[in-house]
Amino acid sequence: QVQLVESGGGLVQPGGSLRLSCTASGSLSELNVMGWYRRAPGKERELVAHIVRGGSATYADSVKGRFTISRDNGKNTVFLQMNSLKPEDTAVYYCWALHSRGSHYWGQGTQVTVSS
- What are the DSSP calls for 84-101, one per residue? S--GGG-EEEEEEEEETT
Q: What is residue 100's predicted lDDT score, i.e. its pLDDT?
A: 85
Q: What is residue 65's predicted lDDT score, i.e. its pLDDT?
A: 98
CA angle 93, 96, 101 (to 5 degrees): 175
**Helix (H/G/I), strand (E/B), else coil: 76:** coil
Q: What is residue 75's predicted lDDT score, i.e. its pLDDT?
A: 84
Cα separation, 96 vs 19, whole angstroms: 16
Low-confidence ranges of the chain (pLDDT < 70): 27-29
Q: What is residue 74's predicted lDDT score, i.e. its pLDDT?
A: 83
